[in-house]
Amino acid sequence: MSDPTRTARRTVLAAGAATLAGGALAACGGDSEPKPVSEPGSAAAPSAAASAPAGAVKALAKATEVPVGGGKVLKDEKLVITQPTAGEYRCFSAVCTHSGCLVNKVADGTIDCPCHDSKFKDTDGAVTKGPATHSLTEKKITVAADGNISLA
Ligand code: FES
């Protein structure tokens, strides 16, 4: 035999818990702040080449997509490719070494993080403005004759 008052209380408690959980989820997904991300190549971040068939090298970008004096941020791959001078391409992790946000811009010789305004040199990833204290990790790339840029 069940007590109807007790059953009703359980239902109310369960509904309250569901409301709290939903509120917490909404709070996590509702902000527009850039979020820290995991480092490329970590278990939580599949590598860019992981989806390519065995033996095939997946192009990250075309050389023509990377402006001289600028760069291209590859959000999915968590990489940034720069071209400091004509024909000189560099690639770095796009994960800021301060708190893990993705960098979002390459301009005026720096790779910039939107979270706390750290800046890194587009030539070697070195910190030019904190709060970050460590360089961006450089990745080896190749530029094929057809202009495809791939991880080496
Ligand atoms: S996470 Fe990039 S400056 Fe703080």
Domain 48-151 sits in CATH at 2.102.10.10
Domain ranges of the chain: 1-32, 48-151
In order along its 152 residues, the chain shows pLDDT tens digits of 444 444 444 433 333 333 334 333 333 334 455 667 665 544 444 444 444 455 566 899 999 999 999 999 999 999 999 999 999 999 999 999 999 999 999 999 999 999 999 999 999 999 999 999 999 999 999 999 999 999 99
User: Which of 113, 119, 120 to probe ligand 1 with, by most ligand atoms within 8 A of CB?
Assistant: 113
Ligand 1 atom closest to the Cα of residue 116 is: 3
In Å, what is the CA distance from 1 to each residue of 4, 6, 122, 127? 9, 12, 73, 70
Signed CA dihedral, 45, 51, 53, 55: sign only:
negative
Q: Is 103 in the pocket of ligand 1 (CB under 6 A)?
A: no
**Does the predicted TM-score (pTM) go above 0.75?**
no
Q: Is 118 in the pocket of ligand 1 (CB under 6 A)?
A: yes
